[in-house]
């Protein structure tokens, strides 16, 4: 896709909560589009909601984007620092007759909505104060009323744009809810806090944004914003409205569905590579040859909006789990250790002999092929760092089992020094023979003694790892 102007896209999150999976998916599409065309990916913190915006949410958003690998190309713009530019634009609209002060009280607006609902009409502002005379305005001011600033929307207007995802879009002015509030209530000689649709237009123009890529729930806003661009004499960007992320019931994914924050996915043990890979697939179909497992850079090389779907994308946990397992299985033992080590250290694991990097890498090589989540690498590693509490099956086996004699013989022959795989196999055979049992009986008892369970990874490798820590002898003795 050729671009007539330098490609500059932006993510504009509101720091009123943690980084949501939907916002992160929007970031992914913006980043891919910018990288595909050699453009810039920018960040704007929309913190004009003073009561709900928190610095910790801003840091959570920035940290989540960094973790996902979605780096931005310029210093983030903080929207609240630009309020004078927003007010100047409102002054321009007032002076040009595109906006006016509306003195309607909250009670009057509520009565208007109730009347419209009683008449079976959709609630909308009736533009009552659009053409107040100076005398009428002064009368309201004398009453002590404050005013919002409203932008005039012609009901007969038709707003059109070519959406990069949805093609030609047409929106009637009469469907935009009446004249739009662009500044909150304030004394008549002042301008209150500028509101979303106005500040977005002003800031996107100031940042020279060429393409606005966001969720389809913003389509109605686009119609309003295009009218503002025209009234302010600004050139609008191109727009692309991406499909929403849906739950399994086909509704927009929300907090009611449980995990929606990128931080939650991270805490559950998902990797950044798998999560961005999966988010790319939520609404975008890769071309043939790339498959479903790819990096951000591979996706950026072939990304286009022609392959973005219009329909909502249902969240599929099985697909995400599969992708995460693919990422983990593709890591070397050393790479997996680097990811698991902070989780192990948080549990207080990795002291003494277990602090040896070589031993830890060998443990990762044993566990790696069975992991789906990084959290699995904590659960499955626990019996190697801590003496396990035996489960019911292991306890039953220890109480009265033919393996006990073989375990006794094995304990007697167990060397203090290093033990290699070939020697360990010979010891198992000799101990089983001495006890008059099959080798499999001994191995079942040995697994119960070492791991406190009849389930677990390869037994011989497990035994050798525990022997290197010097804990196999103690665990066998305790079992007996």
Catalytic residues: 255
* Region class of 451: left (phi > 0), else alpha (psi between -120 and 50), else beta: alpha
SS3 call for 38 = coil
Q: Which residues contact 174 (CB under 8 A, 6 or more apart)?
A: 155, 156
Angle at 23 between CA 246 and CA 158, to 5 degrees: 80
For residues 328 and 321, what is the distance between their CA atoms, to the nearest angstrom? 11
Strand order in the sheet with 180-186: 99-102, 147-151, 180-186
**Helix, strand, coil % over all residues of the chain, rounded to 5:** 50, 10, 35
For residues 76 and 73, what is the distance between their CA atoms, to the nearest angstrom? 9
Range list of β-strands (E), 173-284: 180-186, 211-215, 238-242, 245-246
**C-alpha distances in angstroms, 279 versus 20, 45, 71, 267, 386?**
12, 22, 16, 17, 37
Alpha helices by DSSP H, 37-105: 55-68, 83-95
**C-alpha distances in angstroms, 220 versus 17, 159, 200?**
23, 10, 14
Q: Which residues contact 290 (CB under 8 A, 6 or more apart)?
A: 298, 299, 302
DSSP bridge pairs for 101: 149
For residues 228 and 235, what is the distance between their CA atoms, to the nearest angstrom? 10
The pair of structure tokens assigned to 18 is 């943690």
Q: At what angle do helices 439-451 and 392-399 cross, to 10 degrees?
A: 130
Q: Among candidates 176, 173, 93, 178, which has minimal Cα distance to 128?
A: 178
Range list of β-strands (E), 251-403: 313-314
């Amino acid at each position: 896709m050729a671009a007539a102007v330098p490609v500059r896209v932006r993510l504009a999150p509101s720091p009123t909560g943690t980084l949501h999976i939907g916002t992160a998916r929007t970031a992914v599409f913006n980043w891919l589009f910018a990288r595909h065309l050699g453009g810039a990916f920018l960040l704007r913190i929309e913190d004009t909601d003073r009561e709900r915006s928190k610095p910790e949410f801003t840091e959570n958003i920035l940290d989540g984007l960094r973790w996902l690998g979605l780096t931005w190309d310029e210093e983030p713009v903080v929207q609240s620092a630009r309020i004078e530019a927003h007010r100047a634009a409102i002054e321009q609209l007032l002076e040009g007759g595109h906006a006016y002060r509306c003195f309607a009280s909250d009670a009057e607006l509520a009565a208007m909505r109730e009347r419209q609902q009683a008449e079976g009409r959709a609630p909308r502002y009736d533009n009552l104060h659009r053409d107040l005379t100076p005398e009428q305005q002064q009368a309201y001011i004398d009453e002590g009323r404050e005013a919002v600033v409203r932008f005039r929307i012609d009901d007969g207007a038709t707003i059109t744009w070519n959406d990069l995802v949805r093609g030609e879009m047409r929106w009637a002015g009469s469907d935009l809810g009446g004249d739009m509030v662009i500044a909150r209530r304030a004394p008549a000689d002042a301008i209150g806090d500028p509101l979303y649709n106005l500040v977005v237009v002003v800031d996107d123009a100031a940042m020279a944004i060429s393409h606005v890529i966001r969720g389809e729930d913003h389509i109605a806003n686009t119609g309003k914003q295009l009218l503002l661009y025209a009234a302010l004499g600004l050139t609008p960007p191109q727009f692309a409205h991406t499909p929403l992320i849906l739950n399994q019931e086909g509704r927009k994914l929300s907090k009611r569905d449980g995990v929606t924050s990128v931080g939650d996915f991270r805490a559950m043990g998902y990797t950044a590579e798998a999560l961005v890979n999966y988010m790319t697939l939520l609404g975008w179909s890769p071309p043939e040859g790339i498959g479903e497992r790819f990096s951000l850079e591979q996706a950026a090389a072939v990304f286009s909006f022609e392959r973005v779907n219009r329909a909502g994308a249902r969240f599929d946990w099985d697909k995400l789990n599969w992708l995460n397992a693919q990422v983990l299985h593709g890591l070397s033992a050393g790479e997996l250790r680097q990811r698991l080590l902070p989780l192990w250290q948080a549990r207080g694991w990795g002291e003494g002999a277990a602090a040896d990097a070589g031993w830890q890498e060998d443990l990762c090589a044993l566990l790696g092929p069975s992991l789906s989540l990084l959290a699995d690498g904590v659960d499955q590693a626990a019996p190697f760092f801590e003496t396990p509490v035996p489960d019911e099956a292991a306890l039953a086996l220890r109480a009265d089992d033919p393996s006990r004699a073989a375990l006794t013989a094995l304990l007697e022959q167990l060397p203090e020094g290093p033990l290699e795989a070939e020697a360990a196999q010979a010891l198992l055979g000799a101990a089983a023979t001495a006890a008059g049992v099959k080798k499999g009986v001994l191995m079942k008892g040995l697994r119960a003694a070492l791991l406190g369970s009849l389930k677990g990874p390869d037994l011989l490798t497990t035994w050798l790892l525990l022997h290197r820590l010097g804990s196999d002898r103690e665990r066998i003795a305790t079992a007996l």
